[in-house]
Amino acid sequence: MSAPEIETRLFINGKFQKASSGETFPLKSPATLTIVAEVAEASVEDTNAAVAAAKVAQPAWAALSPEERGSYMKKLAGLIRENFQDLAYLEAISMGRPVSTYWDAWVAASNFDHFAEAGYSIQGSSSLNTPGFVNMSLKQPFGVVAAIIPWNIPLFFFSSKVAPAIAGGNTVVLKSSEKAPLTSAKLATLIEKAGFPPGVINVLSGHGQISGSTLSSHNDVRALSFTGSTRTGRMIQKAAADSNLKNVLLELGGKSPAIIFSDADIELAAAETKNSIQWNSGQSCMGNSRVYVQESIAEPFIALFKKHFESVSFGDPTDPKTNHGPVADELQFKIVNSYIEAGKKSGTLVTGGESPANAQGYVIKPTIFSNIPEDAKITKEEIFGPVVVINTFKTEEEILKKANDTDYGLYAAVYTKDINRAMRFAKALEAGTVGVNCTSPTVPHDLPFGGWKTSGVGREGYLTSIDNFLETKTVLIKVAA
Positions annotated as catalytic residues are: 251, 285
Distances from the Cα of 211 to the Cαs of 44, 173, 178, 250, 456, in angstroms?
A: 6, 10, 11, 18, 22
d(CA 463, CA 33): 42
Distances from the Cα of 333 to the Cαs of 330, 343, 354, in angstroms?
A: 5, 15, 11
CB of 48 closer than 8 Å to CB of 70: no
d(CA 187, CA 13): 15
Q: How many residues does the chain have?
A: 481
Half-sphere exposure of residue 397: CA atoms within 13 angstroms, side-chain side: 0
Half-sphere exposure of residue 247: CA atoms within 13 angstroms, side-chain side: 18
CB of 380 closer than 8 Å to CB of 391: no
d(CA 156, CA 177): 13
Q: In 295-437, which ranges are E strands? A: 348-351, 367-370, 387-393, 411-415, 433-436
CB of 240 closer than 8 Å to CB of 214: no
Question: 24 pairs with which residues across the strands?
Answer: 40
CB atoms near residue 213 (< 10 Å): 16
d(CA 444, CA 457): 19
